[in-house]
Chain A
């Protein structure tokens, strides 16, 4: 029983460790396990209103134009047309990014033709930077507090829309299990972020 067995055993261990590493790296940890989230800053700027034009998230190589969206017929926030899947939509009744209150930006995770603008949103981690360029050429710089997932029919309205204590940002896309039909994905992925800085573009 020669070195053949040893070789096989060694290979098994190597491949196994590699597999575990790969697997653990991709696992989406439940919210009670994951990092605590980064608290919002004690001090922050406040900007005059100006509509968002672009969004950039360096840590997931995201850069996209932003246009205004209203409400859909069913009362939900409308989303960019499937043909504009690489654009994000700012809910035009919400504050502009940098004003007091939660600015809301939605985007597709994917469409029938492939991945879309917010495909990698769920990979965002607390502390990551989100830059929103505005029509007045200022850039509002937000920091991610938490990335969470909610049942699509039970979004936490207060946490999403009612915090006017500071300038905030909510990025919303789809996630969770695909059920198809009218529902699509079962959940919404929501990124909660707070304004930390502002600069001129």
Chain B
């Protein structure tokens, strides 16, 4: 699912003029996912017209990685170091033929608290037992009613 769905999404969103890959000399580069938590892995994909040679992607977030030709693109996978500061980072593709392209990657510094936020103060929203009481009471009433009717029929 992941990569192809995301790639499709990248195409679908072009109409909204969203993170479109940057073009220069026909070269482009994109990072997927384009926003990521430090310590996680991203895919970098680009094109240098003829993608027969290695290319290089550079960013202050992850340094320098070699991008290898694959299925008509140049690709690489890179882990954003856990120490990377949150912020916007330029990712620059440099092709063997000298052309370049850039895109932006957003590194997040989210904490992952496993203790939930204190989002209640009144105690009015609790799981009450009213529905169960209603259902039970209703059931009892139906049984009593039907019982009464049958009893009456038998006597008659």
Contacts and interface: CB of A to CB of B under 8 A. Distances in A.
Whether A and B are associated in the same complex: the answer reads: yes
Interface of A: 1, 5-6, 8-28, 42-49, 71-72, 74-79, 82, 91, 93-95, 99-101, 106-116, 118-119, 122, 138, 150, 152-157, 160-162, 164-166, 172-178, 180, 184-185, 187-188, 198
Q: How many B residues touch the partner, as a band?
A: 35 or more
Interface string B133-156: 111111111111110110010010
B126 A188 contact: no
A111 B120 CA distance: 6
16 contacts: A19-B135, A24-B131, A26-B131, A45-B12, A46-B9, A47-B18, A79-B118, A108-B119, A108-B121, A111-B121, A153-B115, A155-B113, A157-B114, A175-B127, A177-B127, A198-B16
Contacts, number: 259
Interface of B: 1-2, 5-6, 8-10, 12-13, 16, 18-19, 32-37, 40, 86, 106, 108-127, 130-146, 148-149, 152, 155
Given A1-B155, A166-B9, A174-B119, A114 B124 contact: yes
Contacts of A109: 119-120, 122, 125
Contact of B113 (A15, A77, A79, A101): A77
Nearest to A156: B114
